Structure 1
Amino acid sequence: MSEQDLFYLLALLRVEGVGDIMAKKLLSNFGTPEEIFKAKTNHIAAIDGVGSVLLKNLKDKTVFEKANRELEFINKNNIKVSFFKDEKYPERLKHCIDCPVLIFSAGNIHFNNKKIISIVGTRQITSYGIEFCKKLIEDLAPLDPIIVSGFAYGVDIVAHQLAIENGLQTIGVLAHGLNQIYPKAHKKYMAKMEENGGFITEFWSSANPDKENFVRRNRIVAGMSEATIVIESADRGGSLITANLANDYNRDVFAVPGRVTDKYSQGCNQLIKMQKANVITNAADLVYMLNWDIENKPKSVQKQLFVDLESEEQKIYDFLLKNGKELLDIIALQCEFPIYKISGILLNMELKGVIRPLPGKLFEAI
């Protein structure tokens, strides 16, 4: 993205009433952010969801001053910016309808690793949670996953530290701009974090760590990860919000079970009881459910003879033959079918014996 496009996109995102979904809708209709500001009022008004208030706000010239200040901050501090259509944008996150249009990052982050998991939980982590997290990350280390969390007290910072100790890349998703760090007590971990991954955020340098920002931050933690693991949680808390968001995004969720009398196992036990999370007792559970243990094994593909496939089924079958096993949402995206429709098609294909489901919401051709 050119600096000019970034400037106008920053300005667009400062327009009151323009969130991520509306910004994507406007970009889809006008191509570039600059063209949105140049477009005739009647052309913008024709877009679904645009009302008189938004039309008026698009004429607010102060958004350009705000965009210029943020652009200066970005350039001065060598902040990396990822547009949601860029290759460097987290692949899974871009499939979420409410993903941020822009992500700002600092450090040494590489999103090309497909094994990305988020580890979340209470800020009052117990010795039980610490020991489980330690063993989990040590056992997963040979598979080289990226560990994502929120850089908060408790489970978050323990997961980040253990990732670094085991030579893994780790990413802290922040609920504020990159001009500060919260909590301030964790400033001492910043250098190691940036050496072994870094920080990402959707928030500008003017944003403070307000309560509502943490809820918004959680959708990034859930959306960019293949799976979310809740180590410990009380019956309420941000980690349960993250788990619910991960379910909404069709991601795998795991929870560590605990005694029913333990305060910080109540949230995990509830997730399991409500079938919103798989039980995880060790790294092997995760490896099996995400299909990591057979990821690199050669697959023998036997073509199905004398099976009549509908045109939609044939398209999916050909895609899986060419690409191997794939996630449900990737199949939907690449084959251009809505999620609500793809599930039924895949079920019919499974009944016909031409595909099979795998752990981790994956499918492959037989």
Structure 2
Amino acid sequence: MTINQTKFYELWLNNIPGIGGATSKLLISHIGSAEEVYKSKPSSLKKVLGIGENTVHSIQQSKKYLSKIENEVRKIEKGDVRVLTYTDEDFPKRMKLQKDAPYLIYVKGKAKGLHAAKTVGIVGSRSANQYGKGVTAELVRELSQFKDINIISGLAYGIDIQAHKSSLDNKVGTIGVLANGLNKVYPSIHSKVAHEMVNEHNSGLISENLMDSEPDGPKFPARNRIIAALSDVLVVVQGMKKGGALITADIANSYHKEVFAVPGKIDDPLSEGCNNLIKYQKARILTNTNDIIKMMNWDIQPVKSKQTILFSENDLSKDEIVIVNLIKEHDYHIEELAIQLQTPIPKLSGRLLQLELKGIIKLKPGNIYGLK
């Protein structure tokens, strides 16, 4: 991927120390774009609610180190990696729904499965035994009956790598979410599988970390939230009392995703985590693939219907037409609209008010806008 000027400044903003995805999205929703944030004076930045002295200082200091971003750009282009930001059309829509979603992700491979109609996250113990691996393989095989489905996991030992291998064996798209940069595969023993995933149309690797980033403690829970966000349903296959799989399950529950756990022997440490998830009603029991299919209504083909929009585009300005076409897809929070349209909230508010007065959209609780 060739990095243009817009992407360059988005990479700069994303890598300012102390500024995470939420702050990046906040700044862009008020100022318009990463490049405009770069050009803004400290006095303008301070006017954004929630942006304090420390954040403004970090932004000003980071302007001195653009060579670091230039070096990152070279690595991205050499590695044939794409960079997707929250404002890009190809940024996974499932991730956009979560407040703690990263502002920017790196993608290697076509990874069309990021937009699959159905996604299943499969995670579990790194020390999985043959029972756990067998359950995973059979689960993926039975899910392969659906044409547009993708398996999400973390490329780790045990259940993760089994989920990826079984997906490739059954010609099911699979996405690996890494806790390190895309210039290396961790663990390296999984490099062959990772290579196959990158070269499969619906599969690929993604990360929110700099290209040469090493995996460390905090990066793994952060990786787990991406797995949870990308999954319509999360399945935990074997897990000890504490571990990353259970963290992923907790995050998935906080995102109001469906969580399933595979039960095991009551005296087996590898099943203690799953049994506890079921016991404390943090997961539904999974005894066969039909449990998922029925819960998700995947065996029912819904009748698609379109809402009739009763207005003439001749009555709207070009900016208003763009807003309406966006809201046709689904309801949007005003900050998300501002980010999508790269329009400061004060200017956007005026356009939204005009559309309200024309009876085309309505404001819902929580600053959410939808069609009337």
Shorter-chain TM-score bucket reads: 0.7 to 0.9
1:28 maps to which residue? 29
1: CA distance, partners of 2:155 / 2:185: 9
Partners of 2:159 and 2:25 lie apart in 1 by 34
Q: Is 1:149–2:153 an aligned residue pair?
A: yes
Alignment RMSD: 2.5
**Where does residue 181 of structure 2 map in the other structure?**
177
The letter for the 2-side match of 1:126 is N
2:314 is matched with which residue? Answer: none
Deviation at 1:63, TM superposition (A): 3.5
Q: What is residue 71 of structure 1 aligned with on the other side?
A: 73
Aligned-pair identity (%): 38
Helix, strand or coil at the partner of 1:58: helix
CA contact (8 A) 2:3 2:73 kept: no
For the 8 Å contact 1:141–1:166, the answer to whether it is kept is yes
Question: In the alignment, which of 245, 258, 272 is matched to residue 251 of structure 2?
Answer: 245
What letter corresponds to residue 109 of structure 1 in structure 2? A
Verify: 1:193 aligned to 2:193, yes or no. Answer: no
Equivalent positions of 1:160-309 (< 5 A) are: 160-196=164-200, 197-294=203-300, 296=301, 298=303
Deviations 1:87-106 (A, max 9, x none): 21111111111111111111
5+ residue gaps, structure 1: 302-322, 342-366
Alpha-carbon distance between aligned partners in 2 of 1:271 and 1:170, rounded to the nearest angstrom: 25
User: Contact 1:121–1:156 at 8 Å: present in 2 too?
Assistant: yes
Q: Which residue of 1 aligns with 2:92?
A: 90
Give 1:40 shift: 2.2
* Deviation of 1:48 (Å): 2.1
1:80-136 CA distances to partner (integer Å, 9 max, x unpaired)? 111112221111111111111111111131023121111000001112112211221
Shift of 1:241: 0.5
TM-score (norm. length: structure 1): 0.81
Is the 8 Å Cα contact of residues 104 and 208 (structure 2) preserved in structure 1? yes
With the length of structure 2 as denominator, give the TM-score of the two structures. Answer: 0.79
**Quick one: distance in 2 between partners of 1:158 and 1:143?**
19
Q: Which residue in the other structure is 2:108 paired with?
A: 106
CA distance 1:271–1:331, change in 2 (3 Å)? farther
Measure, in 2, the Cα distance between the counterparts of 1:33 and 1:300: 38
Gap change, CA 1:263 and 1:67, over 3 Å in 2: same
Of 222-231 and 55-64, the range deviating more from structure 2? 55-64
**What are the Cα deviations for residues 248-306 of structure 1, in whole angstroms up to 9, with x where unaligned?**
11111110111211111111111111111111111100001111000x254899xxxxx
Contact kept, 8 Å, 2:10 with 2:85, in 1: the verdict is no
How big is each residue's C-alpha offset from its partner over 1:149-183, in whole Å with a ceiling of 9 and x where there is no partner? 00000000001000110010111100011111100
Q: For the Cα contact (< 8 Å) 1:147–1:169, is it kept in 2? A: yes
Matched residues in 2 for 1:340 and 1:162: separation? 43
CA apart distance, 1:190? 2.3
Q: Tell me the amino acid that sits aligned with residue 72 of structure 1.
A: R
Residues 14 and 66, structure 1, Cα contact 8 Å, conserved in 2: no
Per-residue CA distance 1:26-51 (angstroms, 9 max, x = gap): 00111011111211222211222222
Runs of 4+ in 1 over 6 A off after TM superposition: 330-336
Equivalent residues of 1:82, 1:102 under 8 A apart: yes
SS at match of 1:240: helix
Q: Which residue of 2 aligns with 1:117?
A: 120
C-alpha distance in structure 1 between counterparts of 2:278 and 2:331, whole Å: 28
The number of aligned residues is: 315
Unaligned runs of 5+ in 2: 307-327, 338-361
Is the 2:14–2:104 Cα contact (8 Å) retained in structure 1? no
